[in-house]
Amino acid sequence: MHLQIKNIRIVDPSQKKDSVGNVFIENGKIVSKLSGNVDKEIDGRGKIAVPGLIDVHSHLREPGQEDKETIYTGTRSAAKGGITTVFCMPNTKPVIDNAPAAEFILLKAQKEGLVNVFPIGCATKGSEGMELSEIGVLKKAGVVAISDDGLPISNSQIMRRALEYTKMFKLPVISHSEDKELSKNGVMNEGKNSTILGLRGIPRQAEEVMVSRDIMLAELTGGYLHIAHVSTAGSVGLVRQAKEKGIKVTAETCPHYFTLTDDIVKVYDANTKMNPPLREQKDVDAIKQGLADGTIDCIATDHAPHIQEEKNREFDLAPFGIIGFETALSLILNELVDKGVLSLSDAIAKMTLNPAKIFNLTARGSLEEGSIADITIIDQKYSYKFEEESIVSKSKNSPFVGRKFNGGAVMTIVAGNVVWQA
Ligand SMILES: [Zn+2]
């Protein structure tokens, strides 16, 4: 199959490229010119080709919670958002703490998935925080990182060992930084709004205490630490300091943390409830600053589908989390690029070049010759209203329903195949 995208603006941070040209694809790979006739030609005028977006933090819910999402539906939702590769967290039922479980995800994704899926393995057996999982075996099975995500490792000795042990595999340990004692019973950010609403708060320190600890342990061990979903100004400062000291730490944030504050939390809308919680304007500003100066390397969705009945419960009882695949790119374009926080190239790097580098993905995150032809085509003039009926994910729990966007993905190409088109 020979595919040609003509006269398109190519933005590829891996080559520091931003110019109009043609993209050639042969046998699923990017080539400098085609060896035979063109089978399919795409007119790229007015549009932008970027390397396929990589989302390093999501929950596909399979196996075990297929009522919320499956690999089939989740990868279709990702494709619609212009995302060509997703990492899925291991807190499924059962958890992904052994090779057959990781292989199940990979096999299922190969059969039913529309985009690439890479599993993240549990750091500890059963995600219980007591004993390291068989990390070497998991790595061989294909996991790209290890994490106990929502059940962070509270025992510092175990976290130290995880960082030490994964070092030899160059496998990052992803830290969902939360001191569960400090956050206990909290449902939103602790501050003025939690007082007004009479809801129990989660202080910023619940995140920052663990970010500090894990940075210290990364320094001690020389291991690869990746901080998940940074939500506070303090965490941005800690990561910045650690990087200045040369500690091997990288970080991600999610679109909602640079877009929303806890001003939108209302007791009856659990679609504003996620963990970590939405913070305040000074945190949003600090996160934007952290994205701009390179402190925060990646933007990930933390796509966390939940069915409506669960989210319709009272705020206190509803589960944490929102879906994110289908709005991430538009939020990046509207909140970061259009507002001058990041150049388009720097913004795209947070979902392409940087994740590919941090998680050692070969031949991805780039449009260089020889790369796998995962490509996202963006139209900055593509205006739409994000409506519940249009959501492809099995779950609809998004605080962005009803929002109008200018710009988004209009075509998603995975290994040279057009898998989605607006
Ligand atoms: Zn998490």
CA of 367 to the centre of ligand 1 (A): 30
pLDDT for position 273:
97
Estimate the crossing angle of helix 204-221 against helix 233-244, to 10 degrees.
Answer: 10
- Cross-strand partners of 21: 8
227 closest CA partner among 332, 4, 236, 318: 236
Q: Three-class SS of residue 141?
A: helix
pLDDT for position 267:
83
Contact 381, 12 (CB under 8 A): no
β-sheet with 116-119: strand ranges across: 53-58, 83-88, 116-119
Token pair for residue 347?
A: 């913004």
CA of 313 to the centre of ligand 1 (A): 21
Domain residue limits, the chain: 53-366+394-404
Parallel, antiparallel, or unpaired for β 375-385 and 48-51? Answer: antiparallel
H or E element, residue 347: helix 344-349
397 closest CA partner among 299, 320, 314, 284: 320
CA of 201 to the centre of ligand 1 (A): 18
| Catalytic sites, residue numbers | 302
Say what the pTM is. Answer: 0.98
pLDDT for position 392:
98
Report the CATH number of the 53-366+394-404 domain.
3.20.20.140
CA of 48 to the centre of ligand 1 (A): 32
CA of 296 to the centre of ligand 1 (A): 16
Q: Three-class SS of residue 271?
A: helix
CA of 275 to the centre of ligand 1 (A): 7
Burial of 27 (0-12, 13-18, 19+ CB in 10 A): exposed
Q: Whole-angstrom Cα distance, residue 109 to residue 78?
A: 13
All residues with CB under 5 Å from ion ligand 1: 149, 176
CA of 17 to the centre of ligand 1 (A): 33
- Provide the residue-wise pLDDT of the chain in tens; the chain has 422 residues: 899 999 999 999 999 999 999 999 999 999 999 998 899 999 999 999 999 999 999 999 999 999 999 999 999 999 999 999 999 999 999 999 999 999 999 999 999 999 999 999 999 999 999 999 999 999 999 999 999 998 999 999 999 999 999 999 999 999 999 999 999 999 999 999 999 999 999 999 999 999 999 999 999 999 999 999 999 999 999 999 999 999 999 999 999 999 999 999 988 899 999 999 999 999 999 999 999 999 999 999 999 999 999 999 999 999 999 999 999 999 999 999 999 999 999 999 999 999 999 999 999 999 999 999 999 999 999 999 999 999 999 999 999 999 999 999 999 999 999 999 99
pLDDT for position 122:
97
